[in-house]
């Protein structure tokens, strides 16, 4: 028996129409260094139509890929909605990828047009000659004539191109399973892998983001989107803000703690989203120059584990809640969010807040043990996390259609590569990445647990732990410490600090002090580089007896 419900497609064109009319007074604004430039969602709708007309004029049709090489700003937001609404596919290029990876992804996705920020032109100019399928470059917020294009590529000014277009566009009705956008994983090994989101997946994901069990955006919010629009589908923020009518504040290229704090003081966002390294910088900035940030009702933080000490500092010293969430490029990315259950108070509430969070109904999750068996969700058993659901990828993009990394999928589930435990009431606690967990004498040590504990020491700004070969135990933890400015601490003192938090055999004997932890293109610890630094002898290791 079929239902009597209308067979309406979940489409980003419908979302654009809704946001630009019924939420038309809400706005996107971009920080300029000392203020903002603002566009209402009504104006976003008009510019989206202009951009769609312009792209159509340049030959873009349903299914064609349009790249962006941009900071978070008004123009990027317009592209985020205009490109899929016209049936084309948005490919936000990660400006921080290594050059060869960046050229690889543009060619792999077969981007036809790239919209580029003027301030990024010098960087983009180096990559453009390698991009084989790009025919048009549109320069926003800058001087198009500053770019010398290779033969066969035409350069346009965003402002001039849009000024010549109609502010209406007949957005097509397309199948909700069609591609809307794509993102490449920022993995540190092998070629980046492409994930293709659909209109349906983005729509359902946005509904989860705005739900109270997600990030809970409403039309009364002003969301500071620090997470780059080119990372992991921008955590769903562009579509979630358009859907909820929340205002969105874009930091453009002003991503250092001081300008972030300045824009917070000026614009009083109610919500913000960023990875832990950004929050660590903001915290240090606040400690140097205190300011009231209680206008932030919540800051969502994920991408790597959030040290409990950081969550406590924001709450206890600044009255602001850091909301821990877990996800991946492959999961759109919202996978779980750490809202504590009703009744959890005091330390019990904190214990829930430290977890990676509870899975929503749209994300099925299971743990697979080393022997391939499904582990119980008892909060104790560990296993590799596998997930499944309507906004979780079922494959990596393959232009030829042949399977890419088929071993990352298991009976229709995505293998996340994350090792963790799940409590009976659905909270995920990640123990480590499967390749980072340290196997010492047949027992596991979580590098993340050690890192989280060590950064609780006041002299420590950052700590990264890797496993290094050990003749007796196979592997032992090496702790790489970045000291806080002006601070000093000896390895003995740091190990003593850990003594009541870990079993004796887990306490690290190998320590090294470094200037900074190497980071990936999205600001995560690059443990592969740290391991290479250790292997080539460039780290001075202190061994405690
Ligand atoms: P990406 O696709 O770049 O967003 O990376 C996804 C990976 O980041 C996940 O598989 C996890 O290893 C890691 N990750 C994301 N969120 C968290 C979190 N809250 N805690 C620990 N690791 C996380």
pLDDT digits (tens, 9 = 90+) for 327-365: 999 999 999 999 999 999 999 999 999 999 999 999 999
Is 330 among the catalytic positions? yes
**pLDDT value, residue 472:** 85
pTM: predicted TM-score of the whole model, two decimal places: 0.91
Residue 522 in contact with ligand 1 by CB distance below 6 A: yes
Residue 304 in contact with ligand 1 by CB distance below 6 A: yes
How far does Cα 500 stand from its chain's mean position? Answer: 34
**pLDDT value, residue 399:** 94
pLDDT level of residue 264 (50, 70, 90 thresholds)? very high
Is 185 among the catalytic positions? yes
Q: Choosing from 439, 490, 493, 516, which is the catalytic residue?
A: 439
Q: How far is the CA of 10 from the centre of ligand 1 (A)?
A: 28
368 close to 384: Cβ distance less than 8 angstroms: yes
Domain assignment present for 205:
no
**pLDDT value, residue 473:** 87
Domain assignment present for 30:
no
For 332, counting Cβ atoms within 10 Å of its Cβ (0-12 exposed, 13-18 middle, 19+ buried), the class is: buried
Helix or strand holding residue 219 (H, E) = none
For residue 4 the two structure tokens come to 């009597």
Averaged over 3-24, what is the pLDDT? Answer: 98
Q: Which residues pair with 250 in a beta bridge?
A: 30
The CA distance from 425 to 430, in Å, is: 15
Domain assignment present for 446:
yes
517 close to 507: Cβ distance less than 8 angstroms: no
The CA distance from 69 to 60, in Å, is: 18
CA distances from 262 to 30, 37, 220, 417 (A): 13, 15, 21, 38
**pLDDT value, residue 187:** 61
What count of residues does the chain have? 545
Q: Of the ranges 93-97, 334-338, 373-377, 441-445, which one carries the lowest mean pLDDT score? A: 441-445
**pLDDT value, residue 237:** 98
% helix / strand / coil in the chain, to the nearest 5?
A: 30, 25, 40
Q: How far is the CA of 15 from the centre of ligand 1 (A)?
A: 28
Q: How far is the CA of 304 from the centre of ligand 1 (A)?
A: 5
How many domains does the chain fold into?
1
The CA distance from 468 to 478, in Å, is: 6
Closest CA to ligand 1's atom 5: 328
Averaged over 113-120, what is the pLDDT? Answer: 98
Q: Choosing from 330, 384, 451, 462, which is the catalytic residue?
A: 330
Q: Choosing from 185, 270, 329, 416, which is the catalytic residue?
A: 185
Q: What is the pLDDT of residues 133-169, one digit of tens each?
A: 999 999 999 999 999 999 999 999 999 999 999 999 9
Q: Is the pLDDT of residue 388 over 80?
A: yes
The CA distance from 511 to 112, in Å, is: 49
Q: What is the pLDDT of residues 486-524, one digit of tens each?
A: 999 999 999 999 999 898 899 999 999 999 999 988 888
User: Taking phi first (over 0 means left), then psi (-120 to 50 degrees means alpha), and beta for anything else, what does residue 183 get?
Assistant: beta
DSSP 408-419: GEETTEEEEEEE
CATH of the domain at 515: 3.30.300.30
Is 439 among the catalytic positions? yes
Closest CA to ligand 1's atom 9: 328
Q: Position of tokens 């849009």?
A: 162
Q: Which residues pair with 469 in a beta bridge?
A: 475
Q: Is the pLDDT of residue 188 over 60?
A: no
The CA distance from 406 to 497, in Å, is: 44
Domain assignment present for 421:
no
**pLDDT value, residue 41:** 98
Residue 449 in contact with ligand 1 by CB distance below 6 A: no
Domain assignment present for 476:
yes
Domain assignment present for 455:
yes
**pLDDT value, residue 119:** 97
Q: How far is the CA of 472 from the centre of ligand 1 (A)?
A: 32
Nearest atom in ligand 1 to the alpha carbon of residue 324 is: 19
- Mean pLDDT, the chain, whole residue set: 95
DSSP 378-426: SSS--EEEEEESTTS-SS---TTSS-SSGGGEETTEEEEEEEEEE-TTS
**pLDDT value, residue 443:** 81
Residue 356 in contact with ligand 1 by CB distance below 6 A: yes
Residue 233 in contact with ligand 1 by CB distance below 6 A: no
Averaged over 260-265, what is the pLDDT? Answer: 98
Closest CA to ligand 1's atom 23: 304
Q: What is the pLDDT of residues 73-83, one digit of tens each?
A: 999 999 999 99
Strands 27-31 and 36-40: antiparallel
The CA distance from 92 to 183, in Å, is: 7
445 close to 504: Cβ distance less than 8 angstroms: no
Domain assignment present for 117:
no
Task: Give which of 379, 282, 360 is closest to 322, Cα–Cα.
Answer: 282
The percent of residues in the chain predicted with pLDDT above 70, rounded, is: 99
The CA distance from 506 to 31, in Å, is: 46
Task: Give which of 107, 123, 157, 151 is closest to 137, Cα–Cα.
Answer: 157
Q: How far is the CA of 433 from the centre of ligand 1 (A)?
A: 9
Averaged over 416-426, what is the pLDDT? Answer: 96
- Show the domain range for 459: 436-543
**pLDDT value, residue 55:** 98
Pocket test for ligand 1, best of 215, 229, 310, 326 (most atoms within 8 A of CB): 326
Nearest atom in ligand 1 to the alpha carbon of residue 301 is: 19
Is 515 among the catalytic positions? no
**pLDDT value, residue 189:** 62
The CA distance from 203 to 332, in Å, is: 11
**pLDDT value, residue 441:** 82
The CA distance from 280 to 539, in Å, is: 24
For residue 491 the two structure tokens come to 């390895």
Q: Is the pLDDT of residue 321 over 90?
A: yes
Other beta carbons within 10 angstroms of residue 384's beta carbon come to 19
Q: What is the pLDDT of residues 290-314, one digit of tens each?
A: 999 999 999 999 998 899 999 999 9
pLDDT level of residue 471 (50, 70, 90 thresholds)? confident
Domain assignment present for 14:
no
Closest CA to ligand 1's atom 7: 328
Residue 186 in contact with ligand 1 by CB distance below 6 A: yes
For 479, counting Cβ atoms within 10 Å of its Cβ (0-12 exposed, 13-18 middle, 19+ buried), the class is: buried
pLDDT level of residue 540 (50, 70, 90 thresholds)? very high
């Amino acid at each position: 028996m079929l239902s009597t419900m209308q067979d309406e497609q979940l489409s980003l064109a419908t979302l654009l129409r809704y946001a630009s009319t019924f939420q038309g007074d809400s706005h996107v604004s971009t920080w300029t260094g000392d203020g903002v430039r603002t566009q209402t969602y009504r104006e976003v709708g008009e510019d989206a139509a202009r951009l769609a007309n312009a792209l159509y004029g340049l030959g873009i049709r349903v299914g064609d890929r349009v790249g962006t090489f941009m900071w978070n700003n008004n123009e990027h937001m317009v592209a985020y909605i205009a490109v899929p609404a016209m049936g084309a596919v948005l490919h936000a290029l990660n400006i921080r990828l290594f050059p060869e990876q960046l050229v690889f992804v543009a060619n792999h996705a077969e981007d036809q047009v790239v919209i580029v920020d003027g301030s990024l032109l010098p960087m983009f100019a180096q990559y453009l000659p390698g991009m084989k399928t790009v025919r048009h470059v549109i320069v926003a917020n800058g001087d198009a004539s500053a770019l010398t294009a290779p033969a066969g590529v035409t350069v346009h000014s965003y402002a001039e191109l849009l000024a010549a277009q109609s502010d209406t566009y007949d957005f097509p009705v397309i199948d909700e399973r069609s591609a809307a956008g794509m993102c490449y994983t920022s993995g540190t090994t092998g070629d980046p892998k492409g994930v293709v989101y659909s209109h349906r997946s983005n729509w359902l994901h946005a509904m989860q983001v705005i739900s109270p069990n997600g990030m809970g955006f409403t039309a009364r919010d002003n969301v500071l989107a620090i997470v780059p629009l080119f990372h992991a589908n921008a955590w769903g923020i562009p579509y979630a803000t358009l859907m909820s009518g929340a205002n969105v504040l874009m930091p453009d290229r002003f991503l250092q703690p001081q300008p972030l704090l300045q824009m917070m003081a000026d614009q009083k966002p109610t919500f913000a989203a960023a990875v832990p390294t950004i929050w660590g910088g903001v915290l240090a900035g606040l400690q140097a120059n205190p300011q009231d940030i209680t206008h932030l009702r919540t800051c969502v933080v994920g991408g790597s584990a959030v040290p409990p000490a950081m969550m406590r500092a924001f709450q206890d010293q600044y009255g602001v809640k850091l909301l821990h969430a877990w996800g991946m490029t492959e999961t759109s990315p919202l996978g779980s969010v750490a809202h504590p259950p009703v009744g959890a108070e005091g330390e019990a509430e904190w214990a829930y807040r430290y977890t990676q969070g509870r899975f929503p109904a749209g994300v099925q999750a299971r743990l697979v043990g080393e022997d391939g068996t499904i582990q119980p969700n008892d909060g104790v058993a560990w296993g590799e996390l596998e997930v499944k659901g309507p906004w979780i990828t079922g494959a990596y993009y393959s232009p030829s259609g042949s399977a890419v990394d088929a071993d990352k999928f298991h009976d229709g589930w995505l293998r996340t590569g994350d090792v963790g435990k799940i409590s009976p009431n659905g909270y995920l606690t990640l123990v480590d990445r499967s390749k980072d967990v340290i196997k010492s004498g047949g027992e596991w040590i979580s590098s993340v647990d050690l890192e989280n504990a060590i950064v609780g020491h006041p002299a420590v700004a950052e700590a990264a732990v890797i496993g290094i070969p050990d003749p007796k135990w196979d592997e032992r933890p090496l702790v790489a410490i970045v000291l806080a400015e002006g601070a000093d601490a000896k390895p003995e003192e740091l190990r003593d600090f850990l003594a009541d938090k870990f079993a004796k055999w887990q306490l690290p004997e190998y320590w090294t002090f470094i200037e900074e932890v190497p980071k990936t293109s999205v600001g995560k610890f690059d443990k592969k580089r740290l391991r290479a630094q250790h292997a080539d002898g460039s780290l001075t290791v202190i061994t405690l007896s």
